[in-house]
Structure 1
Amino acid sequence: MIRRLVILGGSSSLGLGVRGRSYAVRVGELIGVDVEVLQLSRSAQTIADVEPAMVEQIRRFRPDLVILSFGAAEAHVHPSRWLQAVLDRFAPRSWRGPAGMEPRPYFSSRRYRALRQRIVSAAKIRLKRIIVGLTGGFHRLSSEEFDRCLRELLDRLGPVPKVLVGLWSIDDYMFPRSNPVLSRNDTLLQLIARDREDVIFVPTRDAVEYWSHFLLDHAHLNDRGHDVVARLIMTGIEPALTHQKADTGAHHPS
């Protein structure tokens, strides 16, 4: 049986905007109340940010399943390394970091604070579009580096069963020039899964509804979207669950 579940990825598997109940957490809930979950996702985390200490922590945890959600943060186009360095040094906190120029996925319930957030979010979108249009922008990790780092991580995790969550499209207006790279990374996930017996690829691109399954940034999923992806993952791992139940029944006859 699946008793220990590891979740590793970025803001989507962290559950941004859905109170931490990401599709991966919901998978743990669907498997059963006795599942122990180790959540190692971080907002804006790329595959290159996974440190050896984190891999060692996973090994000590001895998981029965690892759900990996990577390829999106690596694909998002950012305006300018120079501009981001300036913002990180002098701008307000909400403009700093890898997600500093990205639109907000949700707004405050307080009227005037929400209005201010909407104005700032719209300004970020327009500024980013202008700079990306002029410079082409940059990716934090190329698709070639993404492929290499992911394969290395899968090797380091050992023979434990792993799920690679597929990538969906996002709003091209809010995230200019990101969708082609998302599509390329999604294809890489599929190819990597084909090469390995310990990996299951779960496609999501055609299953989520645009934009009713999304938060206001049209990139992160809302509750309905997370439910859809959780069910897709459950379908993907069902053969393993069925096999485990059969083994359990064979060892523990009624």
Structure 2
Amino acid sequence: MLLRPAYTYPDQVATLLRQQGYAVLSPDGVGELAGCTRAELQALLPSWNGLPPDNYLKDGGRYRRRRHSCFVADGTALTLAPHRAHWQPVEYNALHGGMQRWFEPMLPEMVAQPAWTRLLQAMARVATDLRGPQPWYIEAHQFRIDTEGGIGRPTPEGAHRDGVDLVAVFLLARENIKGGETRVFQADGPAGQRFTLTEPWSVLLLDDARVIHETTPIQPVDGAGHRDTLVLTLRAKGFQGD
């Protein structure tokens, strides 16, 4: 049986992030926070069907496809940053840290949609509520984890932090899979929660300084399936690797 997350209201996000380090919003909550209709959010999804393979997986897997682009949110302005490598220190990603990983950028037609801008601006407002007003350096990752090889691993690096201020994990699709349970733990204690995101455009928000997180492997049900997510990380004072 899948354990459902406890959704919160948009106006309670900042309080919960301060109290427990994470919060989960329903699709309606995401729409309210970003000022988007469900149809506007759904219009972003077609590009997940054409993601190129992730060729950097050190476990030899072929189960992950992705695109990656970077943005800067400063007040009400959102700017597409020059394309850059994704880089993390080994302290935060023991499997793939220390590598410059160059992924294909997000498609211009998706980035140009007003819903995309409003979504990133909404996450910048959440980060500002958490850490105070300042420019936010946003890395955006489109992921598809598939089960064509039998098992797909959303977080092959295991339970981790990302080395940023705020992480947003949007669940966009679960097709013919089992598994994919989300687990959130205190970074400096034993307490934790587990649940499974199932509704398209529900989101897990994380204060990266306070919690670590992972998602369990997925397996196919009735043929190959996949799990699609959008992961946004927001960091003050520049992108990692600068």
- TM (norm. structure 2) is 0.24
Structure number with greater CO (CA < 8 Å, separation at least 6) is 2
Higher strand proportion:
2
| Structure (1 or 2) with the greater helix fraction | 1
